[in-house]
Chains A and B, each alone.
Chain A
Amino acid sequence: MPTIDFPKQDFDSLIGRTFTLEELEGWMLLAKGEFKGYDAETDELKVELQDTNRPDLWCAEGIARQIRVKLEEGPRSYSFFKPAKKTLDQIVVGHGLHVTRPYVGGFKATGYTLSEQGLAQLIQTQEKLADIFGRKRKSVSIGVYRLDPIQFPITYALADPDSTRFTPLGFDEPMTLTEILECHPKGIEYKSTLIGHDGKQHCPLLTDAKGIVLSFPPIINSREIGEVRVGDKNLFIEVTGTDLRMVLHALNILATNFADRKAKIVPVEVIYPAPTEFGASIQVPYDCGSELEVPQENITTLLGESLTMNEGKQALIEYGYQVKSRGKILSVKQPPYRDDLMHPVDAIEDIAISNGYHTFPTALPSEFTVGGLSQAEMISDKVRELMVGFGFQETLSNILASQEDLVARMNLSDTAIIEVDNVMSLTYSCVRQWIIPSLLRVEAASSHSFYPHSLFEAGEIVQPDQDAESGTRTLNALSALLAHPNANFSEMHSYVDLLFYTLGLSYTVEPITHPSFMDGRVGQLTVHGKPCGLLGELHPQVLDNWQIAMPCAVFELTLDKLTIG
């Protein structure tokens, strides 16, 4: 979830009204914004935005706009989305870009002076959009330039990486595209985004009519015209990407932001070599918002309230929508800076947000249901109760552990366990296949705690199982450990015997050999004719591996196997 900072005074001026911090916290709900702090010295507000589908809200302009629409009881119109009467300057798209980064768009922002605050906000918005919405520039990246030196038309085309040279931001000398990718920090960081569907590297380039390079998207701007400074009055903003809707969406957000800061937006025409879903020639910014029908009935079903058609309509208008009512259906269209309307439920949520969740009455589910526990949980609760009665202290461990603890320290060698592929820490890189190591973890850390130690844990384990849907099985197990100077098989056997007796199960213990246990002092427990666990004295080598200086007798039972008749 993005978190952004902005000066409160800048925010107030965008809304056109000064709020107290308390008031602001309430108004932020409209933008799913959570107030994270305010620094009175720098006047900086910190806000976290919850909605990952609303990139328009990841900036001061966007939050202010969402609040302003409510205050003004409806959206302002942004005239630059209307078809232009005059001929527009162009961006011409070359051939061959479809394998890599096919889409581009841009607009001019004029008659406005870039302030220090404005520039800081612009950079923040650009970063949030490119990083989060644009998936680290892969899907969408943004360039901002000084408009005055640019000669239209601009060309967007693939370039030869070795013969094309320009001076990138941050450097003093012209470099080839290959050199930029090898040496420039941004080249190194974003190089991987240039790999196309064909698995090859392609280098898109934006140049103006004189052949001067604007930028090498999504890597770096040219220093000549791609370095924007405080005081600049006329800007050119460009977005490139792999998804046309996303490119247009990002441009619409940026254009409305500039417009809200009183800039004049001059559209640009983009000419594609082949038709796109919005045609071969697109006037940008372009409102690609589609209309959606929201039946009155759906609103009632979802919100449990018989809002009148007009109330629903008004709530949506006050949230920025264009709404027409036709009979019992609202035909709604989102503002161009949004593109998150997938289903009527999305618009219905906006009705609830627009009116405020606190305005809704609350009701309890009226239909009767019977509560209960799963069989696994009931068995687990039963044996936990018995073990506590037997005098054992319950423990609770992480299910993730190390290969070392689960296998090596237990004297095991080729036991298959479930390992994590993307390991964060070796200590937590495997899923436990039995619980005994979890108990030994406690025992090894607790020699200072007075003896005897009688411990148990009931919990989940995961074992590989080729017959299972996921190749693994999550099982419920119970394990106990006795540690004191005379802990032995016989004492633990008494508890196992009492446990089975109390559960009304008959069982057998058969001698086996097991590397974790002493020879001649380990048995396999069998119930219903199937092996279900182990009982024995741990091998001194195992105790030594765990640096435990006390004899330990243990048992482990797979609880799921007790119920199979």
Chain B
Amino acid sequence: MTPEESSSLGKQELSSLHPLEVAVLTDLHTQSPTSEADLATHTGLDPAQVSMSIGWLQAKQYITVTSENVTKLVSLTPTGTEFSKSGSLLERIFNGATEAKQQGSLLTMKSLQETLGLQASDLSGPIGALKKERSLQIGPGGTLEPTQPTSALTSALAILIKDIAHGPSSYDDRPDHARKIIDTFSQRRGRSQEPFRVDEHIMRSFTLTEVGIAIAAKVVTTGVKEGYAQLTPEILKDGSWRSRAPRPYNIALRPPRIAAGKKHPYRSFLDKVKTTLVSMGFEEMRGPIVESEFWNMDTLYMPQFHPARDIHDVYFVKSPAYSEAIPEPYISQVAQTHRDGWTTGSRGWGYPFNEKRARRLVLRSQGTAVSSRTLASQPKIPGKYFSMARCFRYDQIDATHATDFFQTEGIVLGNTITFQTLLGLLSLFAKEMAQAKKVKFAPAYFPFTEPSVELHVEHPKLGWMELGGAGLLRPEVTHPLGVKVPVIAWGLGLDRMAMVALDIHDIRDLFTANLDLIRHKPMPF
């Protein structure tokens, strides 16, 4: 490094040094390389503080690792500490067996378990070791008989425990036979009650980099005027902030995580749809989740034999199974319309309408059920309504089928409503909901609308997709509910768009229980 470069080291670098960094740099200036342990000794800092400071200095590229020594350290586990006081299990077993034999009896596994308060599984290890050493043999009935006056293994183990009780020490420096014993009696998976543990200890040495040398020199020669870490009420009060500078932060670091309050990503998407609809002049309507077949299907001119009404498509309620009587005049008018068209100008479905079936309770299977209730409640004319109704279908749940889901649907009532208004409204939905400039209309079929339309749009990301279905309600739907003006009924399929907006590939994830997913899901506009 040239003198020019050296002098160009800004005050910035110097004043941003943390006191811990200053201590480490100063020590390395006198002696480099130095090990982490020596740094702690020299500076008088905690090993943790040293290692933190080393991390910062490495990130700033002021210091670098010169060598790494991996050493193994052996130390006592809590079990080992206990053994150092009251003897190892080996010792207790062998001594117990010897004493019993001297008194003319034999120690049994059972009595051993009782006196030591241990499980058979805890004893199998030490007994096995003694047996292998041939200092103990197991006789009939689980009796333990010593075959030698002393056990060399037991004595060697006791000496090792006593020695290591002084503190962790090098494993590799010990002789072979000691290492063997340590290996046998070390804690490991499945052997948690052993006296020893062996840990790898990495000993690293550090030296200053070129920039580090310059910085350290500056630290030592000019000293560091310590900035304050945190502006405090005291500093503000005594005015010392006028003469001291704050220590600059490393603002490139990632901030700590916080648990913030946020809306649910999918709910947030639905909120946006809701706001858009309200801004287009739609009024929200609500309806019950448990609904009679009457409002869910009959009013929508779905004949009672319609395949979409059977147990493979709709959830029926166990109890109560039936609603109260359906109010007049709706039940009679709808029933008559199904039978022969009533006064709607239709020939009707021509089958015997079952009024009890109409009262059968189901879990709302289509949002249009909410619209049918609105139609029967003196709706505004002109009027625009929408609902975002939770609906239920009898479906095997998979990546594309949810058991319950939101349906966004509604109606538009007015004397001037025609097929052309229907197409115009759908074009508007395409623009407002899917930012689509191009639309296609395809003839469709719904039991309650005629004409019926399917709306296909060119989504900026998804390409051509079906966005929804709509139509003009049949007179067989509107007249029995007391509505005489033309009515548009529309429904939008927004889940696919929501899944793209939220980058979700499985529809079940819209209702995920995984908090991480909910917390960290970006919610784009």
Contact = CB atoms under 8 A, between A and B. Distances in A.
Interface string B302-318: 00010100010001111
A462 interface: yes
A58 to B, nearest CB: 13
A419 B292 CA distance: 15
A124 B269 CA distance: 44
Interface string A435-475: 00000011111101111111100001010100001111110
Given A389-B261, A471-B320, A372 B288 contact: no
Interface in B198-252: none
A365 B443 contact: no
Nearest to A446: B515
A399 B289 contact: yes
B475 A345 contact: yes
Interface of A: 29-30, 32, 34, 50-54, 132, 135, 290, 301-305, 341-346, 348-349, 352-353, 357-358, 360-374, 376-377, 381, 384, 387-400, 418-422, 424-425, 428, 431, 441-446, 448-455, 460, 462, 464, 469-474
Contacts, number: 285
B416 A366 contact: yes
A350 B518 CA distance: 48
28 contacts: A32-B443, A348-B450, A358-B441, A362-B424, A365-B382, A366-B416, A368-B382, A369-B380, A374-B286, A387-B261, A390-B261, A393-B259, A393-B260, A395-B518, A396-B264, A396-B267, A398-B403, A419-B317, A422-B311, A422-B316, A428-B404, A449-B515, A449-B516, A462-B290, A469-B324, A470-B290, A471-B361, A472-B317
Interface string B119-139: 000000000000000000000
A421 B317 contact: yes
Contacts of B418: 301-305, 363
Interface of B: 257, 259-264, 266-267, 271, 274, 277-292, 305, 307, 311, 315-324, 341, 344-349, 361, 363, 380, 382-384, 390, 392, 394-397, 402-404, 412, 414, 416-421, 423-425, 427-428, 440-445, 447, 450-454, 472, 474-476, 486, 510-511, 513-516, 518-519
Which 5 residue pairs spanning A and B have beta carbons closest together? A304-B418, A471-B320, A446-B515, A367-B382, A349-B451
B260 A391 contact: yes
Contact of A342 (B263, B346, B511): B346
B263 A388 contact: yes
A370 B451 CA distance: 27
Contacts of B444: 32, 50
A204 B260 CA distance: 72
A364 B428 contact: yes
Given A52-B307, A365-B421, A442-B515, 20 more contacts: A53-B445, A301-B418, A301-B486, A305-B418, A352-B451, A369-B282, A381-B271, A392-B261, A396-B510, A398-B402, A400-B404, A425-B403, A428-B397, A428-B403, A428-B404, A431-B363, A441-B513, A444-B513, A460-B390, A462-B289
B486 to A, nearest CB: 7
A420 B284 contact: no
Contacts of B397: 424-425, 428
A135 B274 CA distance: 40
A399 B390 contact: yes
A388 B261 contact: yes
A352 B418 CA distance: 12
A364 B424 CA distance: 5
B463 to A, nearest CB: 15
A348 B324 contact: no
B257 A391 contact: no
A357 B442 contact: yes
Nearest to B414: A367
